[in-house]
Structure 1
Amino acid sequence: MSEAPQKFRILPVVLALIAGLALGGAGVMLYMKHENAGTPQTEAPLPVASGKKAPQGVELVEPDADGRPVLYWYDPMKPDAHFPKPGPSLFMDMDLVPKYADEGAETAAGDAPSVSVSPAVEQSLGLRTMRAEEGELRKDARLAAEVVLNEHDYAVVQAHSGGFVESVSPLAVGDPVKAGEILAKLTIPGWTEAQTEYLVQRETKAPQGAIEGTLRRLKLLGMPQKDIDDLIRTRRVKTVFTIEAPISGVVTAISMRAGMNVNASQTVAEIEGIDPVWVVASIPEAYARDVAKEGTKFSLTSDAFPGESWKVRSEALLPGADAATRTLRLRLQVANPGGTLRPGMTAVLHIDAPGEKGVLIPREAVIDDGRCLGSECRRRNRAFLHLSH
């Protein structure tokens, strides 16, 4: 009766010893596996797929699926631990990645370090590559512009002699006029008196010098030459004279009314031409040198007239700059034969300036880190190399 309970007391102790030995053996196996994984590989170089050359004197491990030579496999979160075969990582819930042998050879040869990106990662990141080509980098700009009056084509209309206004054409500021169009009709007593004196001298056969002196006086009084020629031809006194527009353009000021008196120095109208017109645009300071370059082309379009363009006759970069916007004023003279462009309209100025020759890359590929510009260049082995410009 006393031996049976003693056997039951020994059995738990034996089971505990067996469990301890089993756990100890498992721990030793895990430790040995970890130590073998972290030690450098001394196995002979493995064969490499056709077309893939391993660097001379470099021991390789199992290559990737494409047969590309691999130095070792590692976990990016613990790069100091190297493994001879691909598989799941012992440290993180992820697959091991390869360290390619040709990458190490390129870096050892003196090339800049690069980053390899697999096709799957390229697709997930939305990476796009384009071939860099040698060519000329032209500067193309589209700038907002404003149509203004041509201040070089400007006329001031005066009576040139005292008189009073008989009638005025129905004109107001902003109305277009053509050269030779009648603006008003005036009676000028001084011209009438001088004409009468001339005819009397002709009838009385006065000396030729006196007759020519009267004609010169009419000219000095401001009488138009065509009215003087009519007087010589018709020998009739003209009492009502017309004031005509000297140029074609737009009336910018008019101060004549029927029945009012005018004097010799009084301005009765002002006209500014609209063919050609001026187009003024604010350009960035970076385009100051390009505007004056030979080969720079300018063209003008307007949203009001789709499909039409206007020829630029000349351009002038005005002195001074706007300190607030850091821009310069560019003034263009644009042909406007049909009067389509009107002062106050907005337009679009296109500038196509020649640039320097070099290697051209897309604008989206340029990286600005605040210190310099750079881009990423992809090698044949799908590695990306950063280049500074």
Structure 2
Amino acid sequence: MPRRLLWAGVGLLIVLPIVAVLVIIKLSQFDAMTTAGEQMQLPPEPVNMMRVREARWQPGVTAVGSVVAVQGALLRIEAEGIVKSIDFEAGARVAAGDVLLRLDAELEQAQLREAESAAALARLSFRRAQQLRKSGSIARSEFDQVAANLKQTDARVDFFRALINKKNLRAPFAGQLGIRQISLGQFLDKGSAVVSLQSLDPVYVDFSLPQQQLAELKQGLAVTVSSDSYPEQQFTGKVTAFNPEIDAVTRSIRAQATLANPDGRLRPGMFVAVDMQLARSESVLLIPQTAVVHGPYGDAVFVLEEGEQGADGASSLVVQSRTVRLGARRGDFVAITEGLAVDERVVSTGVFKLRPGMAVVVDNSLAPAFKLDPQPGNS
């Protein structure tokens, strides 16, 4: 047993110095790597740069609205009867005066022929009475009776003609039909719904504005309308009317814009977003929307500043984060109300890869073209 302990001690005396030497070597390697990492400088990050520009634009007011047809109605039949013919296709476009529906009118036609025969006889009797009246062969009262009978029979003819005319449903204006709500051979009561007819070009957009905007609301102001049904397309029009009174409950004023809608994309009842430009203009500072970093504590941009001078005497560029306050947006730009000055340099794209104090180099060779009125190719 003492012999085993002796050999263990000898082994420890041999291994410990070797382990100590290995530890010292590794520690020196780690120190060298740390020193090299601290001295190593990353190459400047290429960024797109744009200077803060000053421009004048008309401020806008945003609202939500609904599309309303200039002419729109659910067509109903004025008479009762059995559907004899349906002269339209669901979803078709029709002109004003086109016949859409015919009810069976055989009974009314027979009554009309009877009334026309009675009117013809009354007209003949009236002519004879005129001749007799000239010769004084009949009394004035008899002549008046014959004249009244003629008027009565003519009125009865007009009545049956009007009744037959009401058996036919005609389009009151040009537009697009909806889904038909009747079938061939069906008996319809007076006022039965037949089909919806909507005029789709132009259309109205009704929207409300707070009473604070009343002084700036005028006819002819330009509006831009967008819908989530067509996210890449905008529709333009002008304010054409507004109510003279303020809503006593919401303290808002109701306005109406008229928009051209040749392709029928805007449909009555559609929810839309409205951007109305006011008549006045104001000076604003603009930067691209892609330059803004949205954070939990506010919005910020990266501003280019001069860094330390190098060995060649040239100064490098570094980026610093600066908090800004945003204003209205238009096209690819956003207005800055606080935090920047005219002609300051900001990073326009790729801000997600930057951090304060990072060295950068400006490279605008692939910078996008920012516009106030972008026109996407697929709109």
Fold match (TM-score > 0.5): no
| Rg comparison, structure with higher value | 1
TM-score with structure 2 setting the length: 0.43
TM-score with structure 1 setting the length: 0.42
